[in-house]
Amino acid sequence: PRPILLTRHGESRDNVRGRIGGDSVLSDPGEIYAKKLANFVEKRLKNERTASIWTSTLQRTIITASPIVGFPKIQWRALDEINAGVCDGMTYEEIKKNMPEEYESRKKDKLRYRYPRGESYLDVIQRLEPVIIELERQRAPVVVVSHQAVLRALYAYFADRPLKEIPHIEMPLHTIIEIQMGVSGVQEKRYKLMD
């Protein structure tokens, strides 16, 4: 059995302001998480010389992974957060106020709703296919540092959760989900590194 570690990036400045999308850097607690994550990964994977660290191409995941040393890092565009299109950079409040129809259609069918000039959850699930194929092929542990919507989709694949649940899966910050793929199926552990 070899572990796959899934984590969101450390809290970003946009997370603090409630803004979706963007490409902001980390908040102070987010920076602390990055150090704790590096510590955890170093201990957890200390005898795993061939492990690798996968991030998105967005600053917040790259910065979160930066204190981790001794493992190769790969950036995947396919691990970037759901593209919120015209809503990128807005808060949910602003969307509700300025684009009420968009807000309502997303609420009605969050899985299929596609942001104007952006993506839906179904789009994200589709673009993750090569990542999943590569994760399945790996023999060594992988640490995936990505984003809320993307990790919901990845997690659902390994935990065998139904499609319609994906947009609603809880995916908290500052928490590592460890997936163990063994002969007897998939096992899961969670490590909450901060309160």
- The binding site for ligand F6P (CB under 6 A) comprises 15, 20-21, 81-82, 84, 147-149, 167
| Residue 98 among the catalytic residues | no
| Residue 81 among the catalytic residues | yes
Query: Is residue 170 classed exposed, middle or buried when 0-12, 13-18 and 19+ CB atoms within 10 A define those classes?
Result: exposed
> Least distance to ligand F6P from the beta carbon of 40, Å?
22
CB atoms within 10 A of CB 115: 21
Nearer to ligand F6P, 152 or 178 (CB): 152
| Residue 83 among the catalytic residues | no
| Residue 147 among the catalytic residues | yes
Q: In 3D, which of 47, 39, 74, 40 has the Cα closest to residue 145?
A: 74
H or E stretch including 45? none
> Least distance to ligand F6P from the beta carbon of 152, Å?
8
Nearer to ligand F6P, 7 or 15 (CB): 15
Residues annotated catalytic, as ranges: 8-9, 15, 60, 81, 147
